[in-house]
A and B are shown apart, each in its own frame.
Chain A
Amino acid sequence: MTARPLLIGLFTGLCLTATSLAAETLPKRWVSAGGSLSEWVVALGGESRLVGVDTTSLHPASLAALPKIGYQRQLAAEGILALKPDILLGSEEMGPPPVLQQLRAAGVRIETLSAKADEPTVQGNLLRLGELLGTPDQAKQVAEDFQSRIAAQAAWVKKAQATQAAPGVVLLVGHAGGNLLVAGQDTSGDWMIQRAGGRNLASHKGYKALSTEALTALDPQVVVLADRSLDGDAARAALTRQNPGLAATRGVRDGRVVILDPTLLVGGLGPRIPDGLASLSRAFYPSVQALNSEGRP
């Protein structure tokens, strides 16, 4: 009776030694403090290694079951240590710095990857994640796919703009139709509008509240609405109910209010970006044949 557990123990012990030799430097227990970074880890097959995520990691939905470490700029050292992570992944916004120092002192590897919204950053991040996950080939493939879809998107926009002028767009981030913030220059929203082939009519910097009158004066042909609490037609209805003045704009009058997932706008570019761009483009250029999910028209 006593020999069997001993043998099993010995066997598992051997197995563990064998695997740890093979993957000695690869971190096994991951905590991710960045929405799009978590998504990429999952896309690269590392979901089973995640033991905790921050409050911005909402996609894919299966991450909801993991322990939540809170907001990326307000991390708690001991809470994270309780998850016994080998690595903490996050963007340059991760903090506060004393907590990161404490974690580093406790032997947790801190990997900071940029959340900048541009393609070279995504490429670099993916290759680095591939190294850390031990799946460099898969990472290379995913990075190439992402790049080719972005390139296909750009080519498609160029073609579409030959047949139709770029529409003037405003992108609104709101809450149940109210408290609207308009995406200005140098924002993730602005990047999305441009890559989808639109012209951002807002000239201010950052996300700012504009008066309904100022919005009406911009007279956008398409309104992109990223509502944090409502989706689809409910969001559209709430927008016009809360801001009756907007009914005077071309976009609302012609029914060209496009719904965008607000989580696409925060934390850098994630794997859902190409699909998001394609659906925006479809709304910007309704008469041009849309791109499918392989990036081909």
Chain B
Amino acid sequence: MTRIVAARPLFLLLGFLLLLVLWLSLALGPVSLPLGDTLRALARLIGLPVSGDGLGQAELIIGQIRLPRTLLGVATGGVLALAGVAMQGLFRNPLADPGLIGVSSGAALGAAIAIVFGASIGGLPEAFAPYLLSACAFAGGLLVTALVYRLGRHNGQTSVATMLLAGIALTALAGALIGLFTYLADDATLRTLTFWNLGSLNGASYPRLWPLLLITLLVACWLPRRVDALNALLLGESEARHLGFDVERLKVELILCTALGVGAAVAAAGMIGFIGLVVPHLLRLIVGPDHRVLLPASMFGGAILLLLADLVARMALAPAELPIGIVTALIGAPFFLYLLMRGRS
């Protein structure tokens, strides 16, 4: 595959687009705020000495609703796309998706347990109760991924093919358990489960945000250090080993980054499909397979797509909201198809 766009103009474009959607995400919403108020509220948020007369509502909406939501969108979109690159690199397959190693189904299982049985778990400290769902989803994702990794290991070697199959089997198993909990759930619980599976940035708040931001930062700093190894892995495992890369260690790092990143994203925003699969794939069509460009570009791309999707999600049906998973697929899938068809002709 050849590169359509050179790296420098691409990053300029992506940077500009990200700034643009960041601004839109802070400035647009069902409540229409005058431009001046938005600017003043933002200035006050970053501590500039601006008068706050008559800003009460705007400051609250920007500071407590839109800003956490925007940050959540940037982090979730970015980390999901990074995890997608890591998985497509690990499996050397552009159709790989973070779900392959079981992190999504594990998180979904954890969430289903929390949603269906959460109310009946007694003795939880009051302060922890609101975070039960997130904690269970995160733990579920990590546990199932660890299991998949363990099953793929044999004689000190990690077989990617075995891991793939183990991931499929455990995903089916988790699906069955989720089905069982769905059967046991009542109507209201069922709807919560359904909505959770479609994801949402709604109700973002700072206490939920910090863990995700921290993990995203970690993953975003760690993965770029491994771009050369990822590039070598494109040639094949033994080739990468002969080039002097510690492939076993790379696998562990990729899996860990994916499990942590996707686990945290899913815990904070529910299941948001499509980003992890399509953003890296899409950018690969544009910039080619070099991870030095692909990895950071995907992070930008994921954040941009998710923020755009969130704008649609909050505006389209206002005052109600559309689950964001629906929008990411609605925007992403036709664009993806277009690129596929264009690449073919």
Interface residues of A (CB under 8 A from B): 52, 55, 67-71, 73-83, 93, 96-99, 101-102, 105-106, 206-208, 266
Contact = CB atoms under 8 A, between A and B. Distances in A.
B31 A69 contact: no
19 contacts: A69-B320, A71-B320, A73-B188, A74-B202, A74-B321, A76-B319, A78-B66, A79-B30, A79-B321, A81-B65, A82-B318, A96-B202, A96-B203, A102-B60, A102-B64, A105-B60, A105-B64, A106-B60, A207-B187
B195 A71 contact: yes
Interface string B322-340: 0100000000000000000
Nearest to B313: A76
Nearest to A181: B187
B204 A98 contact: yes
Interface string B140-172: 000000000000000000000000000000000
A83 B30 CA distance: 9
Among A55, A76, A82, the most chain B Cβ lie within 10 Å of the Cβ of: A76
A75 B200 CA distance: 11
B203 A82 contact: no
A208 B60 CA distance: 44
Nearest to A52: B319
Contacts of A206: 186
- The 3 A-B pairs of least Cβ separation, nearest first, read A70-B320, A79-B319, A82-B30
Interface string B27-42: 0011110000000000
B159 to A, nearest CB: 41
Given A81-B30, A207-B187, A76 B320 contact: yes
B187 A78 contact: no
A83 B318 CA distance: 10
Contacts of A207: 186-187
B205 interface: yes
B319 to A, nearest CB: 3
A76 B186 contact: no
Contacts of A73: 188, 191-192, 195
B226 interface: no
A82 to B, nearest CB: 4
Interface in B12-61: 29-32, 57, 60-61
Contacts of A75: 202
A166 B320 CA distance: 45
B127 interface: no
A77 B65 contact: yes
Among A78, A97, A208, the most chain B Cβ lie within 10 Å of the Cβ of: A78
B46 to A, nearest CB: 20
A104 to B, nearest CB: 11
B317 A78 contact: no
A102 B317 contact: no
A229 to B, nearest CB: 16
A102 B65 contact: yes
A98 B61 contact: no
B186 A78 contact: no
B314 interface: yes
Given A52-B319, A81-B57, A106-B60, 18 more contacts: A74-B202, A75-B202, A76-B202, A76-B314, A76-B321, A78-B29, A78-B61, A78-B66, A79-B319, A82-B30, A97-B203, A98-B203, A98-B208, A102-B64, A102-B203, A206-B186, A208-B183, A266-B187
Among A52, A69, A73, A74, the most chain B Cβ lie within 10 Å of the Cβ of: A74
A98 B64 CA distance: 10
Nearest to B185: A206
Contacts of B31: 78, 81-82
Interface string B287-331: 000000000000000000000000000100111110100000000
A69 B31 CA distance: 13
Contacts of B186: 206-207
A75 B61 CA distance: 15
Nearest to A106: B60
A69 B64 contact: no
B244 to A, nearest CB: 49
B122 interface: no
A68 B322 CA distance: 12
B200 A74 contact: yes
Contacts of A67: 319
B130 interface: yes
Nearest to B32: A82
A75 B8 CA distance: 42
Contacts of A101: 205
Nearest to B63: A105
A207 B189 CA distance: 12
Nearest to B186: A206
A76 B31 CA distance: 11
Contacts of A68: 317, 319-320
A86 B117 CA distance: 35
B268 to A, nearest CB: 11
Contacts of B187: 207, 266
Contacts of B205: 98, 101-102
B212 to A, nearest CB: 14
Interface in B197-215: 200, 202-205, 208
A59 to B, nearest CB: 19
B318 A106 contact: no
A70 B317 contact: yes
B73 to A, nearest CB: 14
Contacts of A71: 191, 195, 320
B319 A70 contact: yes
Contacts of B32: 82
A92 B31 CA distance: 26
Nearest to A103: B65
Nearest to A206: B186
Nearest to A115: B188
A124 B219 CA distance: 53
B189 to A, nearest CB: 10
